[in-house]
Amino acid sequence: MSVVRFSVSLEEELLKELDEYVKDYNFANRSQGLRYLIEKNIVEKKWQCNNIVAGAVVMIYDHHKKDIIARANEIQHDYLNVILSSQHYHLDHDMCMEIIAVKGKAKTLTGLADKLISIKGIRHGKLLMSKAE
């Protein structure tokens, strides 16, 4: 893939915001920041178009609540065709983190994540997706 240079005109205030964004997220330069924002926009558009995407569902929960684990397993068995793998981590004596790697149509992955994250007792959950094609 070749790199093409082009120029961009921005209002001064917008350029300041871009520079702050680049600094806040530790991008090496404006080009990397813009590249990230463009890719992010493309990925989000693909989600809306229901394209094939890859990602991860991340959940934090108290492992003492056994019904969480049982319910999460039930849901995951209904989505075997999009789940690539899962990893379980012990954060401390009580709290665990589960990361479920997924690949499939964006709406299917969103449905899976919504069901998992809405399990009573999940402290925090998030779906992260990126383009897969």
Q: 77-97: per-residue pLDDT in tens?
A: 999 999 999 999 999 999 999
Domain boundaries, the chain: 12-48, 51-131
Q: What pLDDT shows up at residue 56?
A: 97
First to last CA, the chain: 15
Percent of the chain exceeding pLDDT 90 equals: 50
The token pair that represents 16 in the structure block: 């300041």
Q: 26-55: per-residue pLDDT in tens?
A: 878 898 888 888 877 776 776 677 888 999
What mean pLDDT value characterizes the chain? 89
Query: From CA 40, how far away is CA 118, in angstroms rounded?
Result: 25
Superfamily holding 51-131: ACT-like. Chain A, domain 2 (3.30.70.1150)
Instruction: For residue 101, count CB atoms less than 10 angstroms from its CB and return exposed for 0-12, middle for 13-18, buried for 19 or more.
Output: middle
| pLDDT at residue 62 is higher than 80 | yes
